[in-house]
Structure 1
Amino acid sequence: MFTSHNAAAAGALRHNQAMGQGQEFDVIRRLMHTWGDLATDIGDDAAVLPSRTDGLRVVSTDACVEHVHFRSAWISPDEVGHRAAAAALSDLAAMGAVAEFVLVAFVVPDAWQPRLEAVAQGIGRVVRAAGARIVGGNLSRGDTFGITLTVIGCAARPVSRAGATPGDLVVVTGQLGGPGQALAAWMQGQAPREWARTRFAQPWPRLAQGQRLAAHGVTAMLDLSDGLAADLGHLAAASGVRVVMDSAALPCGPDCAVGEALGSGEEYELVATVPPAAWPALKAAWDAEQLGPLHVIGRIEGKAPGEPPVMVTSGTDATGFDHFARPVVEMRPGKGEL
């Protein structure tokens, strides 16, 4: 266990605790050296975090497991860490939260011992860019390599997936289809195109974008982990509405088809619902801050009994990925696919 007493709670910065002898502590020291000033006050049995009066705590946990979420032949150890941290922090982005603290738990087979510092470098790069700090975690030996990250943030107005109302616009960030295209290529024994591979191996959590969307009054939001069509189905179910999506408006990535944009999981872009009156100010602020692409792709309608939760116009089926509908060995996109 390598967790922390938070210095801010005590009012003064403390140094990391001195640790005793032993292989586990040697590994922790290597991780601490890799993370440098990102990892603070490590050494106690639990982290003590400062209280907040300017918002609500937002907390999420996410796992990244070899042979389920990636294969080591596909991406480097550095990219494994990068991807794991981005996936976890994306959950904070989806709530409109600021990232503050990260805890990292590893299950490490012997073969992964020499790669652990590279994994830590990837994690550290994303955590640093997010403006967060690593305040603890855990180490364990095991047969399959895995990382579980707990992320903690703060939001003045957390946005759930349950607030969409009829008349809202549906917007999505970024370009879609890359991760699914890369996965399909690997599963066929082929090398994916560079853009698609990068989107799979090095995603970035859309934290600034989520905060901007929340500040401009979006009514519902979530990150794209299961695929656009499937995740809009989750939003529709939570909000009790129907999503009508225009396939011609989808921001397909280079050489990506509409079906790939609809079904590609692990995008870690954001989809949100916006009251029409809020859209002009949101778009103006978005463009002024250069936050990247933001596309209107549909609208929210009331849902009548028997109607599908997601309707895609232009004759494209509304499909997505269900984590529990397929066996482990198939490896479909999605944060928790089984």
Structure 2
Amino acid sequence: MNTLDEVGEFGLIARVTANRRQPAGTLLGPGDDAAVVAAPDGRVVACTDVLVEAVHFRLDWSTPEQVGRKAAAANLADVAAMGAVPTALLVGLACPASTPVETLEGLADGLWAEATAVGVGLVGGDVASSATLVVSVTALGDLEGREPVTRSGARPGDVVALCGRVGWAAAGLAVLSRGFRSPVAVVGAHRVPEPPYAAGPQAAIAGATAMIDVSDGLLADLGHLAQASGVLVDVRSPTLQVPARLAEVASALGADPLHWMLTGGEDHALAATFPPDATLPPGWTAIGRVCEAGDGPGVLVDGRPYAEPAGWDHFAR
């Protein structure tokens, strides 16, 4: 099994870019100092996420390909949350020289698989030496002539809506943390999220006033939206119907499935606010209301503050 120090930086790049097909929007792909990507709108949506081994993923829990797909999905979901359509990915990779090339090829396969699924290319990146395996992905997107849907547009009276699953990745993490590898449905949700990419542009077309990717937890991310908009968001828990599989896993682990749904991250669902008279696009479900901030912006559950931590914070003590 070859390692990175044996094949070298440029040998690795040659391996992971060979025979890869780029979409029409990639005008110039890997091989030069920079790529050239079409921007028909004249504006480019851009975002970056960093995944660190033992913080965001474990290779004894996930395959390299699954990690690659997860890294791509986290960024592609952010583009969708702006109401944009993804156009390209760039990847920065840092790892020990002793890393097996097979591991890095698996990461690349996963990145390419998720990119291809949404019709974008992996157009460039960089490789560096590091004591820890780190994957940094930058995604680009096109607004197609629309205004970006930001976090700051929610207004009192708006409907709060959700598209995509929540709580599944948290359930998968709980299962893996107990040393189990099943049920496959929840473990798979932790390993590879399934963001509703198309729902972002659809929400923008339907008149969404604010939108956010649910990466840290539904309440935590709605809290970011509430702060940016200067409003209070009230989530109605009865609207969050607990799937049977989550209920079963929670019962087996002695956990609360609703807590997973309210605070669990990494499913990359989309949460948005819509005018009260708007017709929600297919797949979107109303889960609450936007209210006047009163004593200050924030998030309530059934009219009350939620007693538990609202979601993930890298630097919380």
Q: TM-score band (shorter)?
A: 0.7 to 0.9
Aligned to 1:133: 121
Kindly tell me: are residues 108 and 36 of structure 1, through their superposed partners in 2, closer, same or farther at Cα, counting changes over 3 Å? Answer: farther
> In structure 2, what is the Cα distance between the partners aligned to 1:134 and 1:175?
27
The answer as to whether partners of 2:215 and 2:267 remain within 8 angstroms in 1 is yes
> In structure 2, what is the Cα distance between the partners aligned to 1:326 and 1:51?
38
Other structure's SS at 1:35 match: coil
Matched, 1:274 2:306: no
Aligned to 1:42: 30
Kindly tell me: are residues 185 and 127 of structure 1, through their superposed partners in 2, closer, same or farther at Cα, counting changes over 3 Å? Answer: same
- Give the residue type in structure 2 aligned to 1:310: V
Aligned to 1:111: 99
Kindly tell me: are residues 51 and 174 of structure 1, through their superposed partners in 2, closer, same or farther at Cα, counting changes over 3 Å? Answer: closer
> In structure 1, what is the Cα distance between the partners aligned to 2:19 and 2:74?
21
> In structure 1, what is the Cα distance between the partners aligned to 2:11 and 2:125?
15
- Give the residue type in structure 2 aligned to 1:261: M
The answer as to whether partners of 2:217 and 2:263 remain within 8 angstroms in 1 is yes
Aligned to 1:10: none
Other structure's SS at 2:56 match: coil
Other structure's SS at 2:277 match: helix
CA distances 1:221-246 after superposition (whole Å, capped 9, x unpaired): 00101100111111110100001111
- Out of 62, 70, 88, the position equivalent to 1:83 is 70
The answer as to whether partners of 2:230 and 2:293 remain within 8 angstroms in 1 is yes
Q: How far off its partner does 1:55 sit? A: 5.3
> In structure 2, what is the Cα distance between the partners aligned to 1:51 and 1:314?
44
> In structure 1, what is the Cα distance between the partners aligned to 2:246 and 2:223?
25
Aligned to 1:73: 60
Aligned to 2:251: none
Aligned to 2:214: 224
Q: How far off its partner does 1:142 sit? A: 1.6
- Out of 231, 237, 250, the position equivalent to 1:247 is 237
Aligned to 1:28: 13
Other structure's SS at 1:181 match: helix
- Out of 218, 227, 230, the position equivalent to 1:237 is 227
Q: How far off its partner does 1:322 sit? A: 4.3
Q: How far off its partner does 1:192 sit? A: 4.1
Q: How far off its partner does 1:167 sit? A: 0.6
Matched, 1:96 2:62: no
Other structure's SS at 1:255 match: helix
The answer as to whether partners of 1:96 and 1:207 remain within 8 angstroms in 2 is no
**Structure 2 stretches lacking a partner, 5+ long:** 1-6, 248-256
Aligned to 1:289: none
Matched, 1:161 2:137: no
Other structure's SS at 2:44 match: strand
CA distances 1:24-64 after superposition (whole Å, capped 9, x unpaired): 22111100126344685321112233453x35310001111
The answer as to whether partners of 2:216 and 2:263 remain within 8 angstroms in 1 is yes
State, as a whole percentage, how many aligned pairs show the same letter.
Answer: 38
**Structure 1 stretches lacking a partner, 5+ long:** 1-21, 287-292, 328-338
Matched, 1:265 2:269: no
Per the normalisation by structure 1, the TM-score is 0.81
> In structure 1, what is the Cα distance between the partners aligned to 2:263 and 2:39?
40
Other structure's SS at 1:171 match: strand
Other structure's SS at 2:261 match: helix
> In structure 1, what is the Cα distance between the partners aligned to 2:137 and 2:35?
14
Aligned to 1:214: 204
Q: How far off its partner does 1:154 sit? A: 1.1
The answer as to whether partners of 1:93 and 1:210 remain within 8 angstroms in 2 is yes
